[in-house]
Amino acid sequence: MRSGEAFRLKWRDFDFVAKNVRVNNPEKRGNTRMLKISDKLVAMLKALPHKSDNVFGGSVHSMRTNFGIQRKRVADKLKTPRLLRISFHTFRHWKATMTYHKTKDILYVKKLLGHKSINSTLLYTQLISFEGDEYDVKVAETKKERVSLLEAGFEWVGEDDTGLTYFRKRK
């Protein structure tokens, strides 16, 4: 989501049981949407104080300023000035590009980003060649193993006639 959308989140926008968040106040005349969140994010959010209806205090400007300060600190510590080029929007482009690469479904990416126009989505999904990617490959024999691999982010590749199921995940 956009930084302004994240900043305006209210506690009632989260469903910690279903592990999702509803973006009710989209920016740039975008669409309202529901996004999945990880168990780790659920735990981190639950640890935050519930001082008001809003999840985050301060202002969008202070949030962006703090991000800049933390980014500079990490870039200096790691001696990697390229990190200074990362913005909140960079993560949005990365998510769109990776989701399109994984799903090859531009309409799904459009919905995920909350765009009304496919032309906006096309600007986000960078055409990057992922040829030569390396994968971790796992084999599952039981239903429990298959579920565990899918929950860990592995994608189904296929099955053989012995009942073994093959999964992969980019390294």
So where are the chain's domains? 88-131, 135-170
pLDDT of 162 higher than 90: no
- Give the Cα separation of 20 and 2 in Å (integer): 16
Of residues 11 and 129, the one with the higher pLDDT is 11
What does the pLDDT look like over 6-24, one tens digit per residue? 888 999 999 999 999 999 8
Which tokens sit at 6? 């994240």
Which of the pair, 130 or 48, is modelled with greater confidence?
Answer: 48
CA distances from 77 to 73, 86, 121 (A): 6, 16, 35
d(CA 156, CA 166): 6
Provide the pLDDT for residue 128: 63
- Six-digit token string for 33: 């949407």
Judged by average pLDDT, the poorest of 2-6, 8-12, 136-140 is: 2-6
Q: Are 28 and 46 in contact (CB under 8 A)?
A: no
Q: Tokens 């994608």 label which residue? A: 155
CA distance 81 to 36: 32
Taking the complete model, does pTM exceed 0.75, yes or no?
no
Averaged over 153-167, what is the pLDDT?
A: 89
Residue with tokens 């084999």: 139
What pLDDT was estimated at residue 127? 62
Cα Rg of the chain, angstroms: 19
